[in-house]
Structure formats: structure tokens, C-alpha cells
Chains A and B, each alone.
Chain A
Amino acid sequence: MPAIEVQALEREFKGGLRAVDGIDLEVAAGEVYGFLGPNGAGKTTTVRMLVTLLRPTGGRALVAGHDVATEPHLVRKRIGVALQEAALDMLMTGRELMELQATLHGIPPADVADRAAALIERVGLSQAAERRVGTYSGGMRRRLDLAMALIHAPEVLFLDEPTTGLDPTSRITLWEEVRRLRDEGTTVFLTTQYLEEADQLADRVGIISAGRIVAEGTPAALKSEVGRPHLDLTFTEGADLELAREVMARFGDHRPASEGCHLSIAIAGGATEIAPVVRALDEAGLLVASLELVQPTLDDVFVEKTGRHLEGADNAPAPAPQPEAEPVA
């Protein structure tokens, strides 16, 4: 039985805005499913329906075998939820919040303290457990949020943009935790707007745009669908970009450009075609400031399916270890 099964799910808000427009998806038990899309694509609305915070206006969704519309109480018992922008009580300590969460999830009173302490330790917050959450850094709050979502060992874990706004070290820490959860057999439904995050963590990826799933599959399969690498060129200021466009069109299809002096084409021949492109541009009197051959990414899949770049595809910070700032109480 799939952990999540969604058929023609819809959500229309007052005023006619259709945030989710008939999506179908299936997530197998133990799978990490990456739900990728730009801001406003419908990711959070979908998650809010799957975790029973929002009623679908059409379609059907089963989570852990229960219908989110007709059996929401059974769904809530089996899921863990870490929503966007960790909603924590800043006045409580980490330990107090964990113990509250344990109580709300029906953990026997005798086990509450031990269970809370074990999860606080798991996410590396033992030293900060007695501090108020308001003194935590963003990464620490996210880790606490994750620990709270795991308090009852849920079958399905929903993580809504868990690393948005985090520094690279905190992001890596969370990624490691997600991998650990997958190894333990937890199904993870992860929404993200970061390509690398989906690429690194997800067994399968669903790409959503304007409320519809435009592509779905393993990251490798999706990228191989796009197939060709692309050549990104940046021209010197004042270059005749129209001429450049004409010249480059001889070698491949133009991709939507990110910036003014930047052009990009998909090329079939890979590295072997770089030299001819440069020669042709040189002959046309066009000066190239920089050039890069880029292998297909999930952004290319997004471009292929929607005709535009995924928001933030160029500026998503790449994880690189550095010390995490932890404010002092």
C-alpha cells in the first residue's frame, strides 16, 4: 500500500484562485519524495491538505491508508509535520516544547521525559534544551521542529521547505537527518524550492508549477529525459545580443536566459561543440566574457516543462561546512 496516494486533488480558494489544480501522485512506503516548485506553485497548499490543515475542494488523498477528508483524526495520528518557518513558541524551552508535543501525541506520561530527551539528543540540542526557543538560531529551531515532528515515530513525515533560509551547515545537518530517517524506513514528503536539495535527498521528484504536476520521476530519469547539456555564455557589455542569438541558434535551441548579457543554448554534442560555437561568435565579432558547459539539472527539466527557470535555481546556496552561529541567551 502506498504511504501517500493522491488522485485529482484540487484546492480552490475564495475568489476562484485554484492553487492546486487536479494533481495525482503516489509515494511508496519508505520513499523520500521531493516536491519541487517555485514559490506560489502550490507546494504548501498541497502539504496543508495532506496534513489535514486544509480541506480539498476536489479529488481524494489517502495518507497512511486514511482519507484526509473523512478520517483526518486517523491521518494525524500517523504523520509528523514540520511546517514552513518552524512555528514554535519562543517563550518555551526546547525541553518544554518537546514534552508538550509528546503529551499531545498521547505518549504515556511516564515516557514523556525520556522520549523528549532522546529526540533532543538525536538532533543535537541537548546543550540548549533548557534555553528558551527564542534564543535559538534558525538551524536550531528547524532541528527542534524536526524532533517534535518525530516524537511519536510517525509513518509519514511531511517537511515543508525545511531548509529555506538556513545556513549551509544547518542545511547539511538536516539533510543528514532526512537520510537517516529514510534509512530507518520513514516515508518523507519533502517540499523544496532548492534543486540541489531535491537532487540530493529525493528518491523521486514531483515538479509542480501553477498547481499542476508537470514532471515526475527519479532525478536521474528526469534529467536523462532532458538529455542534452547546455552552454551558458555571458557576453561583454555592449555586445550585440541579437546577433549573438542568431549565431548561437545554429548550434542548438535557446533556453530562457536568466540575465541581460547571458544567453544559453541546449547543445547535442556536449564539449565537442564548444570550440565551433566560440569560433562562430569570434568570427561575428562577439566577445565572450565567460562560458560554461552545464550538465542537465532539475532546473533544465523545469525549463523543458514550463518554459521558464525555477525561481532561485541560480542562487540556491550550495552547502559548504562552516560554523553555525548560536545566539547566547
Chain B
Amino acid sequence: MVLRAALALARRSLVTTLRRPQFLAPLLIFPSLFLAINTGGLHRSTDLPGFPQVHGFLDFQLSAAMCQSLMLGGVGAGIATALEIEGGFFDRLVASPIPRVSIPLGRIMAGSVIAAFQVVYFLALGLIFGAHIAAGVPGVLLVLLIGIATGTGFAALGVMLALRARSASTVQGIFPLVFVVLFISSAFFPRKLLSHPADWVAAYNPLSYVADGIRDPIISSITASTVLEGLAAALGIAAAGVALSVVALRGRLRDA
């Protein structure tokens, strides 16, 4: 029953997301703009000593665009959940005879599907503008895997925040945090070229490992350690996000 209800709710979340383009568009438009600006303005960075061998700066930046988009996806999942709480639809679901855990799970599963779409979009965008996927089809599959796990985690964190805050405006307030977390990671620049303490902070930021894990199959043949670290970080974010959202749901129901 958990799976059937969660799938039905995930389907509904996807349908309503597609019908709310004002929520979906920022997930693609902002990161695409950042990607265009960074690639156009900072492409000489590849000449810096110690910069990884890449086909082009676009190849390097694709990972950052995906990470940014996936984090914004999490904010979107949180806002959608908070709007359901504010509008009373969440109460309708809670009053239904379904395992209550399927309520956040449905939204999180929808986040996974949207994450897959986001990854495919940026890979396609990159390929259209001349990027190469160095590791070929297996590389694409690895990028998808890490991207979906990361998107799942951020969606879960968004849902957790919504269950705690119960207000869409509060969830929307974390929007700037997305950029802070991105800029203190190695998403935009190689970690070994960051100065201290940025390199130290990036080393403790799980997003650095996700970004590196997504980037590796794009810019080089697959480096097992980098990809595995990226996958582990992504799965860690997903596991923590799902667990925290379930705890937040229990807390909310307990407080009722």
C-alpha cells in the first residue's frame, strides 16, 4: 500500500509540476544562464596550471549547472509541499487511510524523476553546444545515477524543510543558500586550485564530491574513486534527506 499510494502521489506531483511552468522554468533557466555566462567569461580558466585536462570549459561547467539545478529542484519540492500544507490538501492526504510515510515519499519520488529530466536536459544542452561526454554511454548512465540520487536527496531536504516550516515563503527563503552551498564547493572550480580556506571548506562539502563525481565521466574516462565518492555522497544526501523528512513528518503529526 505504501508503494501504490506513493506512486499515485508521485504521479500527481509530476502532473502538477508540469502544469506550473513558473516553478519548473527556474530549475532550467537560472543554471542555463549561469552556464552560458561562466563558459563565455571564464573559459580561459582551462589555461591555468593545474586545471584538469578538458575538451572545453563547457564540459567542466556542466556538472555545476546540474548541481545548481538539482538544488533548485529541492527548493521547488519544498515550496510545493508547503503550499499543500497551507492550502489544506496535505490534511486531505493525512486523513486518507494510507501509510502516512507515503505522503513525503510521493513528492520525493517525483523529485527523482524531475532530477533525471534535469540531468538529461543539461547533457543535451551541453552536447548541442559542443561538449563531449568522454566516458560515452556508461559515463552518461553514471551521471544520471549520481544526478538522480542527488536530486532525490535535495527533494527530500526540501520536503523536510516544508514540514518543519509549514510556510512556502520560509522555504523560498532558503533560495540564496543554494548559491552559498554551491560556491563553497568545487562545483565551479577545481578544488586543488581553490585557495585556503575555500579548499578546506570544499573538502567538507558533500556537494564537492557530487560535482566531481558527475564531472569525471564527462571530462575523462571514468575514475573509479572519484565516481564512487560522488555516488556515495549523493546516496548519503538522499538517505539523510529521506530519513530527515520522515522524522519531520512524524514530528508534525505528533504536534497535531
Residues of A participating in the B interface, judged by any CB pair closer than 8 Å: 51-55, 73, 76-77, 79, 81, 83, 85, 87-89, 91-92, 96, 100-101, 103-106, 132, 148
Cross-chain contact A89 with B93 (CB below 8 angstroms): no
Chain A residue nearest to B90 in the complex (CB): A87
A100-B8, A100-B12 known; A91+B97 contact, CB < 8 A? no
- How far apart are the CA atoms of A115 and B94 in the complex, in Å? 22
- How far apart are the CA atoms of A105 and B89 in the complex, in Å? 15
Cross-chain contact B16 with A103 (CB below 8 angstroms): no
Q: How many residues of B contact A (CB 8 A)?
A: 23
Residues of A within 8 A of B8 (CB): 100, 103-104
CB distance from B144 to the nearest CB of A (A): 28
A87-B89, A103-B8 known; A73+B20 contact, CB < 8 A? no
Tell me if B4 counts as interface (CB < 8 A to partner A).
Answer: yes
CB distance from A104 to the nearest CB of B (A): 4
Against A, the Cβ 8 Å flags (1 = close, 0 = not) of B87-131 are 111011111111000000000000000000000000000000000
Residues of B participating in the A interface, judged by any CB pair closer than 8 Å: 1, 4-5, 8-9, 12, 15-16, 19-20, 84, 87-89, 91-98, 256
Chain A residue nearest to B256 in the complex (CB): A54
Cross-chain contact A76 with B89 (CB below 8 angstroms): no
- How far apart are the CA atoms of A83 and B90 in the complex, in Å? 12
The secondary-structure label for the interface of chain B is helix
- How far apart are the CA atoms of A235 and B89 in the complex, in Å? 49
A104-B96, A104-B98 known; A89+B256 contact, CB < 8 A? no
Q: Which residue of B1, B9, B91, B94 contacts A106 across the interface (Cβ within 8 Å)? A: B1
Chain B residue nearest to A73 in the complex (CB): B97
Residues of A within 8 A of B88 (CB): 83, 85, 87
Chain B residue nearest to A81 in the complex (CB): B95
Cross-chain contact A92 with B256 (CB below 8 angstroms): no
CB distance from B117 to the nearest CB of A (A): 18
> Can you offer 8 A-B residue contacts whose CB atoms are under 8 A?
A83-B88, A83-B95, A87-B91, A88-B89, A103-B8, A104-B5, A104-B8, A104-B9
CB distance from A199 to the nearest CB of B (A): 28
Residues of B within 8 A of A88 (CB): 89
- How far apart are the CA atoms of A191 and B9 in the complex, in Å? 30
Residues of A within 8 A of B256 (CB): 53-55
Q: A83-B88, A85-B88 are in contact. List 14 more A-B contacts (CB 8 A).
A: A53-B95, A53-B256, A55-B256, A76-B97, A81-B92, A83-B91, A87-B89, A87-B91, A92-B12, A92-B16, A100-B12, A101-B96, A104-B93, A132-B19
A91-B19, A96-B12, A100-B12 known; A52+B4 contact, CB < 8 A? no
Residues of A within 8 A of B98 (CB): 104
Cross-chain contact A83 with B16 (CB below 8 angstroms): no
